Each structure stands twice: as structure tokens, then as C-alpha cells.
């Protein structure tokens, strides 16, 4: 199938599905494909060059606010579960292709897509809480967050202080303090006194 033919067929199928094109037909070495949104579910339609006269339909998984795809591996119930995918003859009319997608695919994909959206929202909530925690720690310690390409880290904290781990879900922070033995003993005594009070 030529690129323009796929473009025309995809547009007709999306119209029959009452959907919206998210990313118009793209070409690579293996297929021509497009991403569409139908009834709140992201679909990936592709025409694979080694599967003549077949349209492949799979889920176009949503992403969280960091741009990370919530793939099927992150939401499946158990190892070995397989993401939904169907194949439809491209020689069918757009209306029949749309009917096949509704009957054979959407009912299976819808709850999985909703689960992926929920996971994406959870990721974003975690990120927001983490950023708020980092900002609070930076304000208290006079530091700032810096990304070194491998992740964020605290920069400019008082000499001898290092924040090793932050957990927004439990509101806990692990702090490493490089001090003398006497200073460490004084800190321990103060902590013990606080607990005993």
C-alpha cells in the first residue's frame, strides 16, 4: 500500500470510528503508521510491509508528564500477559475496518488504557510531590537542584551535608552528615533527649 493510500484509508477509518488523528501517517523502514484517539483510547494503526494487505491495530500507550510511555509491561497483571493487537484485511471498507476495531479491539483495550492513564497520573503526582520536597529542602539548606544528565542532585548545601534519598510517598529524607566524632556524639545525645522528652 502506498503512503497516500494509507493516509486516505486511515482518514476514512478514523471518520468511521468518530475518532481524532493524533499523529498523521508516518513512514519508516518497516511500516507506514498513524496514531489516533478513539473514544478516549489511543490506537496505533500500521501497515507492515512484510504483512501484505493487513492493517495492524495496537494500543498507543499514554505517557506521563516526563514523557515516559506507560507501556503494557507496567500495567499487566502477571508476567506472560500479552498486549492486545489485532490484524484486519486492508481490502475491507473503512466502515468494516472500523466495525472490526470496535468489536474485536476497543472493548479489550479500553480498561487497559484507563489503567495506563491512572498509572501516568500516579507518576505525575509522585513527581509533583518530589519537586515540592526538593524545593523545601533547597530553601532550608540554601542549595538548588542540578541535573547532571543522570538525574537531579542537590548542589550548594552546607559543607558536610549530603541528601542521599528522598521519598515523597512517606515524606522521609536520608541525610548524610560529615562531622567530627564529638559533633556526632552531640547530635546523637540531642536525638536521644528528644525521644525521651
Which percentage of the chain shows pLDDT scores above 90? 40
Contact 36, 20 (CB under 8 A): yes
Least confident of 21-25, 128-132, 179-183: 21-25
Residue 44's domain spans which residues? 3-126
Higher per-residue confidence, 89 vs 81 = 89
Q: What is the pLDDT of residue 169?
A: 85
For residues 111 and 160, membership in a common domain is answered with no
- Of the pLDDT bands very low, low, confident and very high (cuts 50, 70, 90), residue 139 is confident
For residues 122 and 135, membership in a common domain is answered with no
Q: d(Cα 46, Cα 55) in Å, to the nearest integer? A: 6
Q: Is the confidence at residue 15, as pLDDT, over 90?
A: yes
CB atoms within 10 A of CB 178: 10
- Of the pLDDT bands very low, low, confident and very high (cuts 50, 70, 90), residue 51 is low
The strand order across the sheet containing 41-48 reads: 20-27, 31-38, 41-48, 54-59, 85-89
For residues 88 and 34, membership in a common domain is answered with yes
Q: Is the confidence at residue 16, as pLDDT, over 90?
A: yes
The conformation of residue 74, written as its DSSP 8-state character, comes to: G
**Per-chain mean pLDDT for the chain:** 87
State how many domains the chain has: 2
For residues 138 and 118, membership in a common domain is answered with no
Q: d(Cα 1, Cα 33) in Å, to the nearest integer? A: 12
Residues comprising the chain, all counted: 197
Q: What's the burial of 109, exposed, middle or buried (CB within 10 Å: 0-12/13-18/19+)?
A: buried
Amino acid at each position: 500500500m502506498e503512503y497516500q493510500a494509507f493516509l486516505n484509508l486511515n482518514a476514512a477509518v478514523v471518520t468511521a470510528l468518530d475518532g481524532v488523528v493524533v499523529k498523521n501517517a508516518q513512514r519508516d523502514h518497516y511500516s507506514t503508521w498513524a496514531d489516533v484517539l478513539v473514544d478516549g483510547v489511543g490506537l496505533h494503526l500500521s501497515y507492515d510491509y512484510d504483512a501484505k494487505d493487513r492493517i495492524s491495530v495496537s494500543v498507543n500507550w499514554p505517557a506521563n508528564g516526563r514523557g515516559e510511555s506507560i507501556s503494557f509491561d507496567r500495567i499487566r497483571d502477571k508476567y506472560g500477559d500479552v498486549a492486545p493487537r489485532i490484524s484486519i484485511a486492508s481490502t475491507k471498507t473503512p466502515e468494516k475496518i472500523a466495525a472490526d476495531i470496535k468489536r474485536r479491539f476497543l472493548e479489550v483495550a479500553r480498561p487497559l488504557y484507563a489503567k495506563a492513564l491512572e498509572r501516568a497520573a500516579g507518576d505525575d503526582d509522585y513527581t509533583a510531590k518530589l519537586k515540592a520536597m526538593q524545593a523545601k529542602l533547597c530553601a532550608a539548606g540554601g542549595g538548588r537542584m542540578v541535573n547532571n544528565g543522570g538525574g537531579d542532585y542537590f548542589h550548594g548545601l552546607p559543607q558536610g551535608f549530603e541528601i542521599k534519598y528522598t521519598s515523597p510517598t512517606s515524606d522521609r529524607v536520608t541525610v548524610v552528615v560529615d562531622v567530627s566524632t564529638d559533633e556526632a556524639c552531640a547530635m546523637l545525645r540531642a536525638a536521644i533527649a528528644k525521644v525521651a522528652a
